[in-house]
Amino acid sequence: MYKDLNTSVRTLMTPGPVEAEPRVLRAMGTPVLGQFDPEFTEIMNETMAMLRAVFQTENQWAFPVDGTSRAGIEAVLGSIIEPGDRVLVPIYGRFGQLLTEIAERYGAEVVNIETGWGQVFDPQVVIQAMQQVKPKIVAMVHGETSTGCMQPLQAIGEACRALDILFVVDAVATLGGTAVKVDEWKIDAAIGGTQKCLSVPAGMAPLTFNSRIEAVLLARKKIERGLVEPDKYKLNQNRMIRSNYFDLSQLMDYWSPARLNHHTEATTMLYALREGLRIILEEGLEPRFARHAWHEKALIQGIQAMGLTLYGDPACKLPVVTAVSIPAGVDGEAVRRMLLEEFHIEIASSFGPLKGKIWRIGTMGYSCRQKNILHVLGALEAVLLWHGAAIPAGRAVQAALAVYRPQQSAL
Amino acid sequence: MYKDLNTSVRTLMTPGPVEAEPRVLRAMGTPVLGQFDPEFTEIMNETMAMLRAVFQTENQWAFPVDGTSRAGIEAVLGSIIEPGDRVLVPIYGRFGQLLTEIAERYGAEVVNIETGWGQVFDPQVVIQAMQQVKPKIVAMVHGETSTGCMQPLQAIGEACRALDILFVVDAVATLGGTAVKVDEWKIDAAIGGTQKCLSVPAGMAPLTFNSRIEAVLLARKKIERGLVEPDKYKLNQNRMIRSNYFDLSQLMDYWSPARLNHHTEATTMLYALREGLRIILEEGLEPRFARHAWHEKALIQGIQAMGLTLYGDPACKLPVVTAVSIPAGVDGEAVRRMLLEEFHIEIASSFGPLKGKIWRIGTMGYSCRQKNILHVLGALEAVLLWHGAAIPAGRAVQAALAVYRPQQSAL
């Protein structure tokens, strides 16, 4: 009735999901273990240790939530926001709006400041807003895939620490592709994504948080258990962490040696995450970030050699996503369709105010390799010429090759 | 630094996670597709169609939530419970307590009725409670893995429909192993589990709901969007579905032809679920349930031939979990440890009042096969004899063989 799964092999050059590492897919074929099997809990511990390394943190708590990236964001915000808490969310793209929505649903009074899409914030602007708003939490996106911009975080993190504000960072797009220095930047909680620079299929949200977050969680748990104000049940119900699934205090008990039963850990996804992290640590963080930057450079050279222009302020470009303005007179969706149908390449469209105005090309994880960069440039040139765009022929791939083979190009 | 994943191959005879179908693990090696790739949305549609068949429903809505089983339960309860709603949860084991906790966290006034562990409810008792409590929702567990009991649902479902109460059923343990007749039993929403009778790794929660649930979701969405009472923002914030990730109204938009962006679907887990469902439909529901019942019978014969007794009322036995009383003088955990270390078999301990009193042996999905039943019986007999238990030697496997080879046993 239903056929064997027999899909096309795509070249995925979007901001996620990207191509999974072949070693990751192989690791997923490993037989299932019980969740309390000593061999499995060892895998849990190894994964925590590797996550600490990738998040560049000494935090005790670093584990995945079993859900896609926004599940991790919701686990952090939902576990620390109590109704009425003030949360400052500076918005510079689509995913700042998501942080706002999640915080509001958990009862927060959210204060937004906004900057134009294609820009990021001067940290001083955020710090001034913090001083005025006096929030309990500042929540920000590190890499905005919607605009291809990346927000510098360190000055904001230091100001949060000085003002005793919790600093929550959505590092979904950046973790594993460019530096996310949790401790150095004074980030209290950060959330990554698997289907982006980790090159693991979607379905897990790795996160980390420090003792400042843990203190909030433990205080709420005390209230829930009636250890304080036991006569005020209604109040306590209102202050409970609203989600069971996303309750980080229960997840701490599950990921600690206590191993208190919560959900059944997603065995095969954890095998995948472990293998993806292992590949990253084998490559080394700095070499990996340099590799991403190198391929990004080749892509940019190729794009510009076609006479196309990049969208957004170059000073804050997100290294793993390149936003390209769709040339006047070109139907961006027709180009994307032809890329998919004839070249099996997927690049991304965009959201909201940028819909129809830019393409977004991801260079993340295993998708970020020379073969893919050259393929996408050659294909994009061919499709644009096919559609009658007035671009120079034969330059895009040459320009990228000049990045990859500098000696030859000098001849 | 970290070694290749190289785990032992276990015989998993717990109530989950169970062994994954080899075909499912192979399907997970399929390359990742983009979430809006036409090939991928076709896979989404096929999975929905197969879920309808397995849930035995004509419901339009049948899709997985990207999280483990309790994520699906929380998605349903969290999307329909508004603060102050009355929810009746009849409890006959651990997972009724979980339904209670989730409903309370979402602001419900939960009313519990309880029956002894090892029993289920006379449907009339539940119906009387419904008439008194007049809840908006009745939430019940179909198969309680904690006690090995299964609750008959049809009479309760019919009464719910007559009284205009929403009937939510946790079918995590039963879906794919024994009948879950959503439409015939008048269930408004049901949640299954992947890592149990579907033999797919943990990490997805398939669910289905009907137009009665959909009406509640759409009414809440209207409020959120300010389409009614736009001046009462605080009230509206309070009535919003509290979770973004678990908001079924957003998930409907994602799983419908509108394909509104929500999360990034967990590609590889969806490949796995599709393959697991395909295997079930190839086998056929009734033959599959009969197979489960047949192996259960062989297991029970073997257990009883050792002189061990089953826990719980046999009239309501859950066909896919067999609870066995630990004989006096035997250390249940030492037995489990030796089964794991020497035979690579995992059986389960239990929770709360049953801790140390019963073992729980799952016969679910791919784990439910003759080789495993004979292996676990032989191993359990050997380990009990090793520990000096006064049981007859050589009978357990023979008794199971008599189920598998009736002709020979008659000789």
Q: At which residue do the structure tokens 């679907």 appear?
A: B265
CATH topology of domain A20-280: Aspartate Aminotransferase; domain 2 (3.40.640)
* 3-class DSSP assignment, residue B117: coil
Asked if A201 lies within 8 A of B78 by C-beta distance, the reply is: no
The verdict on a CB contact (< 8 Å) between B195 and A32 is yes
CATH superfamily, domain A285-410, is Aspartate Aminotransferase, domain 1 (3.90.1150.10)
Question: Do the Cβ atoms of A28 and B29 come within 8 Å?
Answer: yes
In chain A, the residue whose alpha carbon lies closest to the alpha carbon of B12 is A34
Angle of helix B38-55 relative to helix B267-283, nearest 10 degrees, comes to 40
Shortest CA gap B131–chain A (Å): 25
- Provide the pLDDT for residue B227: 59
A25 touches chain B (CB under 8 A): yes
pLDDT at A409: 55
Distance to chain B for A19, nearest Cα, Å: 6
Confidence of residue B87 (pLDDT cuts 50, 70, 90): very high
DSSP string for residues in A246-266: T-HHHHHHHHSTT----S---
Residues above pLDDT 90, as percent of chain B: 92
Compute the distance between CA of residue B296 and CA of residue B367 in angstroms, rounded to an integer.
12
Residues of chain B positioned with their CB less than 8 A from the CB of A338: none
Give A-chain residues touching B267 at CB under 8 angstroms.
17, 195, 201-203
CA of B155: how far to CAs of A396, B81, B87, B142, B177, in Å?
69, 23, 18, 13, 21
Whole-angstrom Cα distance, residue A363 to residue A8?
20
Q: Which CATH number fits domain B21-280: 3.30.980.10, 3.40.640.10, 3.30.470.10, 3.60.21.10?
A: 3.40.640.10
Instruction: For A183-231, write each residue's pLDDT tens digit.
Output: 999 999 999 999 999 999 999 999 999 999 999 999 888 876 665 554 5
- Run of H or E residues at B139: strand B137-141
Is A145 in the B-facing interface, judged by CB distances under 8 Å? no
Inspect the interface and report whether the beta carbons of B268 and A203 lie closer than 8 Å.
Answer: yes
Candidate from B14, B102, B340 with C-beta closest to A244: B102
Closest-CA residue of chain A to B43? A5
Question: Which residues of chain B lie closer than 8 angstroms to A237, CB-CB?
Answer: 104-105, 107
Over 80: is that where the pLDDT of B238 sits?
no
The distance of A38 to chain B (nearest Cα, Å) reads 10
Domain definitions of chain B by residue range: 21-280, 285-410
What would the pLDDT profile of B147-185 be if each residue is shown by its tens digit?
Answer: 999 999 999 999 999 999 999 999 999 999 999 999 999
Tell me if A360 is assigned to a ligand binding site. yes
Task: Kindly state the average pLDDT of the residues B79-98.
Answer: 96
Instruction: Compute the mean pLDDT over every residue in chain B, rounded to the nearest whole number.
Output: 95
In the prediction, which pLDDT does B222 show? 80
Measured in angstroms, the CA of B254 and the nearest CA of chain A are apart by 14
B46 vs A240 pLDDT, higher one? B46
What would the two tokens of residue A390 be? 């007035």
Return the H-helix or E-strand segment holding B9.
none
User: Strands A166-170 and A143-144, how do they pair?
Assistant: unpaired
Any chain A CB within 8 A of the CB of B235? Answer: no
Alpha-carbon distances, residue A93 vs A43, A114, A323, B236 (angstroms): 37, 9, 13, 25
Q: Hey, is the C-beta of A351 within 8 angstroms of any chain B C-beta? A: yes
Residues in B closer than 8 angstroms to A106, CB to CB, are 242
- Search chain B and give the residue with CA nearest A336: B37
Flag if A242 and B242 touch (Cβ within 8 Å): yes
A89: distance to nearest CA of chain B, Å?
A: 17
Percent of chain A with pLDDT over 90: 92
Tell me what the mean pLDDT of segment B39-62 comes to. Answer: 98
B269:A201 CB<8 A: yes
ipTM confidence: 0.96
- Which chain A residue's Cα is nearest to B279? A2
- Chain A's closest residue to B281, CA to CA, is A1
For chain B, say whether A16 makes contact (Cβ under 8 Å).
Answer: yes
Q: Which residue has the tokens 């969706």?
A: A333
Q: Per residue in B352-395, pLDDT tens?
A: 899 999 999 999 999 999 999 999 999 999 999 999 999 999 99
Cβ atoms of residues A135 and A165 within 8 Å: yes
A20 touching B, CB under 8 A? yes
CB contact under 8 A, A202 and B265: yes
Min CA distance, A154 vs chain B (Å)? 28
* CB within 8 Å: A25 and B71: no
Using a CB–CB cutoff of 8 Å, tell me whether A106 touches chain B.
yes
Residue of chain A minimizing CA distance to B1 = A282
Cβ contact (<8 Å) for B17 and A267?
yes
Which residues in B lie closer than 8 A to residue A240 (C-beta atoms)?
A: 104-105
Determine the residue of chain B that is closest to A273 in CA distance. Answer: B5
User: CA–CA separation, A221 vs A293, rounded Å?
Assistant: 44
What distance in Å separates residue A237's CA from the closest CA in chain B? 7
- The conformation of residue B361, written as its DSSP 8-state character, comes to E
Residue B226 has a pLDDT of: 61
Closest CA to A64 of A85, A43, A78, A83: A43
Q: In chain A, which stretches have pLDDT less than 50?
A: 230, 233-235
Inter-chain CB proximity A268 and B25 less than 8 Å: yes
pLDDT in tens, A12-61: 999 999 999 999 999 999 999 999 999 999 999 999 999 999 999 999 99
Kindly state the helix (H) or strand (E) to which residue B87 belongs, with its residue range.
strand B86-91
In B276-305, the residues whose Cβ lies within 8 Å of chain A are: 278, 281-282
Please provide the size of chain A in residues: 411
CB contacts, 8 Å: B271 with chain A: 5
